[in-house]
Structure 1
């Protein structure tokens, strides 16, 4: 499966563990590189995975490493560790004391406060500070403001006292450059000598040496503005998925000791009973034990229409109760509810790098030293070989250092991947990592399971053929026999009777006849409801009735025969019907160039009937290993295959496919199996996943073009003397902001077809 072979953190030492840190102020690829290099130098650390979009650092290490020491190492670089804990793939159980996930305001804040870790991390001027809150209150925002004021003051002093203007601009530059230089040298000490801060420091100091002090001060200020904009953009991207946690209310009405009291929602335990009033948000995942109401699931699932739910139906945290009060039994603690699990899954997915992202990472390792070399050659060769002016060409070499900063290039891919994953998650399209997101756009064949995937997974009454009675009366008598039964066919008949508003009289002496049907008496009339074969043993069927039953069976329908006394009262046809959007979803895939195939263990006749209606080729009567073999067959022909199933009995097929997609409703199956999950159970969402993947890859190509294109333009204009230092830094910071803003467009585009 995509993503599996490349997962960095699989190689954990035999005596090791994984620790995840939540880090604030980590806003760009340069930040990630510095943290990665610093932690890898610690003895006992096996692997490091830094996710800028999620704001997390996950470290695989042996038991000789103290997690708090790693947090201190991160703090030394100027970042702030706001939480840490074991990076377990499984969510914390309700009886565990802590979670390593800090879900932000309105969510479930279970972070560890490590005083010994935090001490000494906040005293640096270069402390990145938290990425939330107003930008002007953050350390980075304050530093940028002070640097800007110093620049304005230097300009004023230069106008009033021209002879001291040079030194005024040097001091103004120092306000911003000292923290930048400190970060550069700390990063170099911990294994990142070619950081953007180092390039910036060299360029600024060099500009002062050649007498360009005004430009040096302006470049430092523009660099800080660019960093600030990066931080704001990264914060917005991070908030796009964290904002889901704000959907869950902070309090709940808990029933305890015969009365209702308001408690914190995060304290609810599994098995508790809560009251959800009309108009309130549901505070926890649960099952309705009393009441019936329309539930607006749009905030969580994107469904446009409220769903009518009653006793024994499942409700999700964050959804909105409509018109009636509900009593709900809690089935998941705060850290395990659907929204918390989605957030956790997306954060873990953002740590899994796509092939394109890994390539850009490798490229950037050689790119930055190459830029330094080019800058040095531009500064030295023309004066040495052709007698050109040293001052002019050193100035151009310094400008090239700024043009060559790799931030925009390196952030181009993870920014788009993170936005794509978040956009999908907010629409119920969960993908476990950038590799999966990238692979989805390449699929050429989609192999669908039938039951519960292309169909709804439960039979429905598709037709009632009355004999000597009304259709409503046939439903009424059949429902009377089936009352109290949980059999899927009985549930279908009862649902149809309720839909037709058919009265359901009480049945006397009701009981089941093993393997044949059910019997009982209604109004003194003896009734039997069962299979055609069992009914024929009691009452002969006419040739017309036999032909009708055969025709219905050919359509993949199950037929139950109702007998009243010694007469046939009617036929009831039932079938597991296709999902309402199944045909539309398959057509959307076809228009995207993806062919579809049905692979099912069901009988050939039923499969053919469903497939014909959907316009899809069926492969029926398959064992799990047969489905896997079919997928291998198509892969051998060069097809990129996605397998869509329920995530349990299709496990071999899901494992064999290039991308395995679980069709579920927010349960463990949907969240913890396969490579991706469609939470709403919509076939159309598979096509939306493909479209989102292709949109994301197109966005990445645009970002790389912007990043490299701007650098190429400014490289040429700098060499020929058209642009200088401050346009050069704009080329870098401007490109970084542009690619981040371009990636954010995906947040509004995920899910369209």
Structure 2
């Protein structure tokens, strides 16, 4: 048996969930296709099939009035017909609003033509009343013929109960009972509503496209003493690029020369530039503000931070949230139900109670229009698409609507320590001078550590740079295994070592030992500086909590979430950090221990989010209800997790939960608006207050309101931002 193939396509013209549903139904009926998933928000379709030719898929999609191209290609532009697939473009096709200005699309042209025809019919009716009916009928046909063709195509492809079907039946019925003017108005309002849906869908897609556009198209490649401009997509790993002040950085990389303030606001939303220097990481799409930098490329164009964000968000938009799946299922019964109710309203009163046929048929037709499910069906995916886009622009990646919905239910967050609650880089926290100034102690220690790549050495050198102390040269510097490093600085024999090794060369007083013990109890590593045979000072080093760690934990607690630290680090260090942050600690854990504890918490009724950044966190990330990878983490952690905090802020974990709550609140508002307006107009139609065009206006209005409400989420920001 041939192995199933998964192919991704770009589909032009999907404006709402109903469009995606029709395409899924049509393509799923092709022999050899086993699974189809279309996303109107991403404008994509994934097909699992057994070597089905593209022509068969193209034919099924095109018959519904949409365009399709393999992923990596672009669906035909608004008014262009590609050379190799000239028959893509059909007279009444939906075309992707995102492919060009909305006013140039065929949908806009059709709406304009229908509007002009309706105005002309009105004028003709005023001047030559006897042919006014025929003028309105002609205006109706301008808009109804394309809609009717789509209704027939949808029915033949397996979707008989579509919005186009309801519209066609209502319009034809209105003509039969003599309401031609209203029928023409209704069709125009329907086309306007579709156009607005397209604009909104285009906005959702544009928010992700704008993220991809942050990365410049070219880069300055350094080759020896020369630089030349090359396409950014051609940059290879380890290539060196030059970035001038004011330029956007073209690739993820590490600074190898220069120091500058980097404006990361286009990617993170943070307003204050960060100072970066040699060895620091920079991201594609950020802006170099101060001076020239040389950067070594660490990720290709297809795998840089922005590309990964776009890819993950598109994948997330393609997966349906539980609420969206429920509404999709509900709408499959809802639309036929509307047809039945409309028919009963039209037939029962005249047939059983002797009421006027024209009056009740009119009301039945109005109910068909009121029942259009567009606003209801779009209520969830529009909100989720906007939320996923807003989160991505602020460094919060969520792999699907299901994850976004579930986050609001989290009751327990289990955090790793190193690299998650802390920076993952040891820092010199305390310097104690004994007979010498603190600056001199740091200067001598830095002299010995120059050239070393040991984390503790890097911490000493970093502190010396921050404090701007001189670093004299050291002669005959050498590492002494298990003890420390020694050498001559300014003619003096200097030794930087552990307390036990230092005690072999110099006397540690009880007072000094008490100080060392105090630092150790606080989870700090102590290095003792010995000059000659005398102790000159001590340095305490610890991987400190992130700047926002305490605020992040407090935000989680304020949201009613319990926090615990799960770490493989030693208990003394872990408890010192935990005490500083005010959280419970489980220390000395292996990867399987973290996974076991997560499952124990779940067994006690907790909904657990596990946050980590390393390979050792992967089992627990997979076991948790929601796994969250911390920024800068390993690829394994990012792949295993359900979500990722790209920029390493602990506050962003609470931000994710807040985004989930905001999104679900938005969805329920949308559902209330769409159903509430339907109920109101259903009642007013039955009692004779409203008719056909107010009914479709209500549906169009509800769709616009729901979409605009969902788009508000694009402006969402974390509380920290």
Q: Which bracket does the TM-score occupy, shorter chain normalised?
A: over 0.9
CA–CA distance in 1 between the matches of 2:82 and 2:605?
A: 53
- Aligned Cα root-mean-square deviation (Å): 1.8
In the alignment, what sits opposite 1:482?
449
Q: Is the 8 A contact 1:338 1:666 kept in 2?
A: no
In the alignment, what sits opposite 2:15?
27
In the alignment, what sits opposite 1:567?
534
CA–CA distance in 1 between the matches of 2:354 and 2:75?
A: 62
Q: CA deviation at 1:731?
A: 1.6
1:84 to 70, 75, 80: 70
CA–CA distance in 2 between the matches of 1:666 and 1:527?
A: 38
In the alignment, what sits opposite 2:459?
492
Q: 1:104 to 1:396 in 2, by over 3 A?
A: closer
In the alignment, what sits opposite 2:626?
659
CA–CA distance in 2 between the matches of 1:114 and 1:423?
A: 34
In the alignment, what sits opposite 1:397?
364
Q: Which moved more, 1:66-75 or 1:690-699?
A: 66-75
1:717 to 684, 687, 711: 684
**3-state SS, counterpart of residue 528 of structure 2:** strand
Q: CA deviation at 1:84?
A: 1.2
Q: Is the 8 A contact 1:420 1:750 kept in 2?
A: no
In the alignment, what sits opposite 1:5?
none
Q: Which blocks of at least 5 consecutive residues in structure 2 are unaligned? A: none
Q: CA deviation at 1:133?
A: 2.4
In the alignment, what sits opposite 2:480?
513
- Please say if 1:305 is aligned against 2:272: yes
**3-state SS, counterpart of residue 335 of structure 1:** coil
Q: CA deviation at 1:249?
A: 1.6
- Please say if 1:273 is aligned against 2:240: yes
- Please say if 1:57 is aligned against 2:35: no
Deviations 1:230-260 (A, max 9, x none): 1111111111121112211222222346422
Deviations 1:450-473 (A, max 9, x none): 111111111101100111100000
- Please say if 1:744 is aligned against 2:714: no
Q: 1:557 to 1:302 in 2, by over 3 A?
A: same
**3-state SS, counterpart of residue 457 of structure 2:** helix
- Please say if 1:578 is aligned against 2:566: no
Q: CA deviation at 1:62?
A: 1.4
- Please say if 1:238 is aligned against 2:238: no
Deviations 1:275-312 (A, max 9, x none): 21111111122222222211111111223322222223
Q: Is the 8 A contact 2:552 2:652 kept in 1?
A: yes
In the alignment, what sits opposite 2:127?
160
CA–CA distance in 2 between the matches of 1:630 and 1:103?
A: 49
CA–CA distance in 1 between the matches of 2:291 and 2:134?
A: 73
Q: CA deviation at 1:103?
A: 12
In the alignment, what sits opposite 1:640?
607
Q: Is the 8 A contact 1:80 1:130 kept in 2?
A: no
1:410 to 362, 367, 377: 377
2:352 to 358, 381, 385: 385
Q: Is the 8 A contact 2:97 2:201 kept in 1?
A: no
**3-state SS, counterpart of residue 189 of structure 2:** helix
**3-state SS, counterpart of residue 598 of structure 1:** strand
**3-state SS, counterpart of residue 221 of structure 1:** helix
In the alignment, what sits opposite 1:18?
6
Q: 1:241 to 1:744 in 2, by over 3 A?
A: same
In the alignment, what sits opposite 1:352?
319
Structure-1-length-normalised TM-score: 0.93
CA–CA distance in 2 between the matches of 1:495 and 1:273?
A: 25
Q: Which blocks of at least 5 consecutive residues in structure 1 are unaligned? A: 1-12, 86-99, 106-112
2:35 to 47, 71, 80: 47
Q: CA deviation at 1:647?
A: 4.2
CA–CA distance in 1 between the matches of 2:627 and 2:434?
A: 48
Q: 1:684 to 1:14 in 2, by over 3 A?
A: farther
Q: 1:740 to 1:667 in 2, by over 3 A?
A: farther
Q: How does 1:25-424 map to 2 (within 5 A)?
A: 25-63=13-51, 65-81=52-68, 83-85=69-71, 100=72, 116=84, 118-256=85-223, 258-424=225-391
Deviations 1:323-369 (A, max 9, x none): 11112222323222211211111000011111111111111111111
In the alignment, what sits opposite 1:676?
643
Q: 1:250 to 1:44 in 2, by over 3 A?
A: same
CA–CA distance in 2 between the matches of 1:467 and 1:255?
A: 49
Deviations 1:27-84 (A, max 9, x none): 0112111101100000111111111111111111112x11342133212211122x41
2:589 to 622, 645, 653: 622
Deviations 1:651-685 (A, max 9, x none): 11111110000002387356433000001101000
In the alignment, what sits opposite 1:501?
468
Q: Is the 8 A contact 1:379 1:390 kept in 2?
A: yes
Q: Is the 8 A contact 1:342 1:671 kept in 2?
A: no
Q: Is the 8 A contact 1:647 1:674 kept in 2?
A: no
CA–CA distance in 1 between the matches of 2:253 and 2:281?
A: 6
Deviations 1:76-105 (A, max 9, x none): 211122x414xxxxxxxxxxxxxx376999
CA–CA distance in 1 between the matches of 2:464 and 2:95?
A: 64
Q: Is the 8 A contact 1:180 1:197 kept in 2?
A: yes
Q: CA deviation at 1:130?
A: 4.5
CA–CA distance in 2 between the matches of 1:316 and 1:667?
A: 16
- Please say if 1:604 is aligned against 2:571: yes
CA–CA distance in 2 between the matches of 1:668 and 1:303?
A: 25
**3-state SS, counterpart of residue 424 of structure 1:** helix
Q: CA deviation at 1:115?
A: 5.2
Q: 1:104 to 1:419 in 2, by over 3 A?
A: farther
Q: Is the 8 A contact 1:647 1:661 kept in 2?
A: no
**3-state SS, counterpart of residue 174 of structure 1:** helix
Deviations 1:399-426 (A, max 9, x none): 1011101111111000111111111000
CA–CA distance in 2 between the matches of 1:14 and 1:612?
A: 58
Structure-2-length-normalised TM-score: 0.97
Q: 1:687 to 1:509 in 2, by over 3 A?
A: same
In the alignment, what sits opposite 1:470?
437
**3-state SS, counterpart of residue 541 of structure 1:** coil
**3-state SS, counterpart of residue 247 of structure 1:** coil
Q: Is the 8 A contact 1:556 1:610 kept in 2?
A: yes
CA–CA distance in 1 between the matches of 2:450 and 2:23?
A: 64
CA–CA distance in 2 between the matches of 1:351 and 1:568?
A: 64
Deviations 1:116-140 (A, max 9, x none): 5x33121323343543322221100
CA–CA distance in 2 between the matches of 1:238 and 1:483?
A: 51
Q: Is the 8 A contact 1:251 1:263 kept in 2?
A: yes
Q: CA deviation at 1:569?
A: 0.6
